[in-house]
Amino acid sequence: MEKLMYLMMIEKSKTYNKMTKKVVMEHVENIRKLDDEGKLEICGVFKGYPGMAGMYILKTESREEAIEICNAEPLVLGGYATYQLVGLQIANRENNYLL
What's the 3-state SS for 20-61? CHHHHHHHHHHHHHHHHCCCEEEEEECCCCCCEEEEEEECCC
Instruction: Give the model's pLDDT for residue 1.
Output: 54
Mean pLDDT, rounded, for 33-47: 97
Q: What is the CATH number of domain 5-91?
A: 3.30.70.1060
Q: How far apart are CA 21 and CA 8, in angstroms?
A: 22
> Are 86 and 1 within 8 A, CB to CB?
no
Instruction: Give the model's pLDDT for residue 63.
Output: 97
Residue ranges per domain, the chain? Answer: 5-91
Least confident of 3-7, 30-34, 67-71, 76-80: 3-7
Residue 18 has pLDDT above 60, yes or no: yes
Instruction: Give the model's pLDDT for residue 28.
Output: 98
